Amino acid sequence: MRHCLPTRVARRLILPLCATAGLLAANAQAVTPAAAPTPISNGLALTPPMGWSSWNQFGDRISEQLVLETMAALESSGLRDAGYVYVNIDDGWQHYKAERRSAPLEADPAKFPHGIRWLADQAHAHGFRLGLYSGPGQTTCAGYTGSEGHEAQDAAMFASWGIDHLKYDSCCSHKDAPEAEVRRVVGLMGRALRAQAPRQAVVYHACHCGWADIAAWAGDLGVNQWRIGQDISDDFDYPGHREKYYFDVLDMLDAGIALGRHAGPGHWNDFDMLIVGLGGRSRELVGAGASNVEYRTHFSLWAMMPSPLLVGADVRHLDADSLATLSNAEVIAVNQDPAGHAADKVRDDGVLQVYAKELSDGSIAVALLNRGSATADMTVSPRRDLALPWDSYRVRDLWRHADLGTFTIPFTTEVISHEARVLRLYPVAKGH
């Protein structure tokens, strides 16, 4: 347990207070500065992108019909209006399962009979943005034609189709490549995409599964989001890694929590697509599924980090609990907060952990996470955990949609196994 942590939360708000008190003096130099604005910016993704991606549920079994039905479901369920506007077609849209040197990159006419340009027009007419997928290798992860050697040509083609988001996946083709080579291929497509502006502005996702220290440098290359870990599995806390590869929700949290300093408006740590609603029924992902409480916790943590929120389930058949989870406007607001601060782990008592971040209105979002198997009482104290000089503060519960009162003492509440209680703390009276 630590006191008056040199966290981003503490540093922004009360470093002078702690330093005066002598509590942070030794640590103050060690605090890493918050991410500076990237030298290259396309002005996009000022908050984490929200939408849907085809991969987690469907793998490469995708089609124009699926995308149209997905957009209709996002619209009728209210998810589009809740912010889920990117409809991202992942691997499997391409015509050929072949190396690029022997086959062109074009849409599979059986899956996408009207072509991608037509589909982008449909998306735009309905208030969506269309995303597409490629990679810097001869082939993609699923073995389809990649972009190697044709980066400028492909970027121009994507722009001419009206594509708004590109996931550029080097997880397989460049798995063991040295950092310099990964930087080279990520930079190459980044420049090719930026060259399409102002005709078409494209959100750029460099998917490298967290390797080659990508979080440390991708923002500087103008990348809008980058994966911080290997593929997610449909599990909350699987012992070890499924197939010695996949990350569950808690693995992803642990892999990404120290990377928050690299994130900010326009450049985000990506904790991978959401598994909410998969229920162990995915046709693509491994995993046994999670309980509704665990999916809610997963969603809460992705909101806190903050990660892009890309629904991975079949939204045409979403159960009521999953829809309610994905639609929680108060938790979405924590994710979409314009300040774009990342959460810190401000308290770690083994399986009981407290995460916090400052929001743009000066309130603090707090997640009380119980990773253990038994219900526990958990406490957050603005003074002790956040080093905030608050004499009294109001507590709002973002899942119960209720104000819990005004407090002058630490706030304590019951948290069940695998739950994250998400609170928003507002100062009422400040002291010294």
| Contact letters for ligand GAL, residues 155-194 (x by CB under 6 A) | --------------x-xx----------------------
Binding-site member from 140, 322, 353, 381 for ligand GAL (CB under 6 A): 140
- What phi, psi does 191 have (nearest 5°)? -65, -40
Beta 86-88 vs 129-134: how paired, if at all?
parallel
CA angle (50, 52, 56) in 5-degree steps: 125
Query: Shortest distance, CB of residue 417 to ligand GAL, whole angstroms?
Result: 29
Query: Shortest distance, CB of residue 55 to ligand GAL, whole angstroms?
Result: 5
Query: Shortest distance, CB of residue 191 to ligand GAL, whole angstroms?
Result: 22
For 398-418, the three-class secondary structure string (H helix, E strand, C coil) is: CCCCEEEEEECCCEEEEECCC
Query: Shortest distance, CB of residue 202 to ligand GAL, whole angstroms?
Result: 17
| Contact letters for ligand GAL, residues 43-82 (x by CB under 6 A) | ------------x---------------------------
What is each CA distance from 219 to 73, 90, 254, 269, 323, in whole angstroms? 33, 22, 21, 9, 32
Please give the residues from 355 up to 414 whose contact with ligand GAL meets the rule CB under 6 A. none
Binding-site member from 13, 119, 142, 215 for ligand GAL (CB under 6 A): 142
Q: Cβ closer to ligand GAL: 38 or 173? A: 173
Q: Cβ closer to ligand GAL: 14 or 62? A: 62
Q: Cβ closer to ligand GAL: 172 or 359? A: 172
| 377 classed as catalytic | no
* Residue from 139, 134, 175, 174 nearest 152 by CA: 134
What is each CA distance from 209 to 47, 215, 224, in whole angstroms? 21, 10, 15
Query: Shortest distance, CB of residue 23 to ligand GAL, whole angstroms?
Result: 42
Q: Cβ closer to ligand GAL: 121 or 213? A: 213
Nearest position to ligand GAL, beta carbon: 141
| 231 classed as catalytic | yes
Please give the residues from 199 up to 228 whose contact with ligand GAL meets the rule CB under 6 A. 207, 209
Q: Are 170 and 148 in contact (CB under 8 A)?
A: no
Does residue number 286 form part of the binding site for ligand GAL (CB under 6 A)? Answer: no
Q: Are 355 and 347 in contact (CB under 8 A)?
A: no
Grouping H, G, I as helix, E, B as strand and the rest as coil, residue 323 is: helix
DSSP code of residue 56: H
Query: Shortest distance, CB of residue 375 to ligand GAL, whole angstroms?
Result: 35
Binding-site member from 10, 62, 71, 91 for ligand GAL (CB under 6 A): 91
Residue 374 neighbours by CB under 8 Å, 6+ apart: 417
DSSP-assigned beta bridge partners for residue 369: 353, 420
Q: Cβ closer to ligand GAL: 228 or 376? A: 228
Q: Cβ closer to ligand GAL: 35 or 311? A: 311
Q: Cβ closer to ligand GAL: 230 or 363? A: 230
Beta 390-397 vs 352-358: how paired, if at all?
unpaired
Q: Cβ closer to ligand GAL: 10 or 215? A: 215
Residue 36 neighbours by CB under 8 Å, 6+ apart: none
Residue 364 neighbours by CB under 8 Å, 6+ apart: 9, 356, 357, 358, 382, 386, 388, 424, 425
Query: Shortest distance, CB of residue 412 to ligand GAL, whole angstroms?
Result: 40
**Euclidean distance between CA atoms 386 and 400, whole angstroms:** 23
Binding-site member from 85, 87, 123, 141 for ligand GAL (CB under 6 A): 141
What is each CA distance from 283 to 62, 67, 134, 274, 359, in whole angstroms? 11, 16, 21, 15, 38
* First CA to last CA distance, the chain: 23
Spot the catalytic one: 231, 270, 344, 385. 231
Binding-site member from 90, 108, 234, 270 for ligand GAL (CB under 6 A): 90
Please give the residues from 92 up to 121 whose contact with ligand GAL meets the rule CB under 6 A. none
Query: Shortest distance, CB of residue 119 to ligand GAL, whole angstroms?
Result: 19
Ramachandran area for residue 222 (φ above 0: left; ψ -120 to 50: alpha; else beta): left
Question: Applying CB under 6 A, which residues contact ligand GAL?
Answer: 55, 90-91, 140-142, 169, 171-172, 207, 209, 231
Q: Which residues are catalytic?
A: 169, 231
